[in-house]
Amino acid sequence: MKVKKFLIVALMAVLSFSLMACPEIVNLAPEIVVIQDGEVMQVNEIVYEHVEGTQFDPEAMLQHLINEQGLAGIDYDQSGVAVGSERSYENISDRLVIETFYAIYTEVDDVDDSLLGQFKTDDNGDYIYDTGKIFLISSVFGAGEEVAFTLKLTDDDGDQIILPGKILIVSAE
């Protein structure tokens, strides 16, 4: 009788501990990081220097941030338990967008009310840039001025992260 009680208690303890070690997998948001020499580093703000009086292009800015500063959008593999600090991830930098420079439907536009406040798109469904905002950075703002922007990353599950940034206008020297 004592052996049966002991076995039942031991079995319950083993089952309890094994179930506690298998929590439900919750998808975490992707991350915007800087990768230098293969090392992933957290980033809190992005800074981009734009030369005063030159043509500003949001896509070129984004490519510069990725290629020259090591900025990357990553989504960690969450399909299993990660042992230690080395976790595998997928590079999803192609999903980074700078929404600050997209044109937005307003009451001036002849559109359905449901589109008001939404980003404008062309016939292919691609977002359209606001040429007025781009003109301000290209021609109006002078050296020393700053322009705030936001960088957004969305993963396959629809989770998002938004990171602030600033464009510093620098002199052409």
- Let me know how long the chain is: 173
DSSP for the chain, please give it.
-HHHHHHHHHHHHHHHHHHHTSPPP-PPPPEEEEEETTEEEE-S-EEEEEETTSPP-HHHHHHHHHHTT-EEEEEE--SSPPPSS---EEE-GGG-B-GGGB-B--TTS---GGGTTSBPB-TTS-B-B-HHHHHIIIII--TT-EEEEEEEEE-TTS-EEEEEEEEEEE---
Question: What does each C-alpha distance from 164 to 47, 149, 152 come to in angstroms?
Answer: 9, 6, 9
What average pLDDT does range 108-117 have in this prediction? 86
Q: Which residues lie across from 147 on neighbouring strands? A: 167
Is the overall model pTM greater than 0.85, yes or no?
no
Both structure tokens of 24: 């439900």
- Give residue 62's pLDDT: 96
Ordered by where they begin, the domains of the chain are 24-170 (2.60.40.10)
- Reply yes or no on whether the pLDDT at 25 is more than 80: no
Q: What's the pLDDT band for 160 if we cut at 50, 70, 90?
A: very high
- More confident site: 2 or 105: 105
- Reply yes or no on whether the pLDDT at 144 is more than 70: yes
- Decide: 90 and 50 in contact? Cβ < 8 Å: no
- Give residue 21's pLDDT: 55
CA 149 – CA 114 distance, rounded (Å): 25
- Residue whose entry in the numeric block shows the structure tokens 């293969």: 38
